[in-house]
């Protein structure tokens, strides 16, 4: 099985969860962590990631500062905000409910 694209609407949730669990990260680090967490089943490209980061920053869910990466290059580092934590909690709850509903459609007839 090759790498899949990220499902529509889920990348923002994955970014917020990554920043919550890992702390401040630059874009490349966020992308690599999402790929690692998916056991390399997802492919995150810059053309998809950076617009999501910009949108989350405009919404106030994340904030950023410039700094130096491990290889001494200038990089923008992102961190989750209080608003982002609230958004993550709400979206995680919605995602849980959605997956539970969809799972009902895949149960065998007669299963409870």
pLDDT at 5: 63
d(CA 39, CA 89): 24
Q: State the CATH class of domain 11-105.
A: mainly alpha
| Residue ranges covered by each domain of the chain | 11-105
Q: Tens-of-pLDDT digits for all 112 residues of the chain? A: 456 566 657 899 999 999 999 999 999 999 999 999 999 999 898 889 999 999 999 999 999 999 998 889 999 999 999 999 999 999 999 989 999 999 999 986 766 6
Q: How far is CA 112 from CA 31, 83, 99, in A?
A: 39, 38, 16
pLDDT at 1: 46
Specify the DSSP element, H or E, that contains 3. none
Q: Which of 101, 96, 100, 54 is nearest to 78 (CA)?
A: 54
């Amino acid at each position: 099985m090759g790498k899949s694209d990220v499902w529509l609407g889920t990348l923002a949730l994955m970014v917020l969860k990554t920043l919550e669990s890992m702390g401040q990260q630059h874009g490349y680090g966020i992308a690599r962590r999402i790929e690692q967490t998916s056991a390399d089943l997802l492919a995150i490209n810059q053309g998809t990631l950076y617009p999501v980061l910009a949108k989350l920053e405009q919404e106030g869910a994340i904030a950023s500062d410039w700094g130096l990466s491990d290889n001494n290059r200038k990089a923008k580092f992102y961190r989750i905000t209080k608003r982002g934590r609230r958004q993550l909690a709400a979206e995680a709850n919605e995602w849980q409910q959605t997956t539970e509903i969809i799972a009902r459609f895949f149960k065998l007839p007669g299963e409870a």
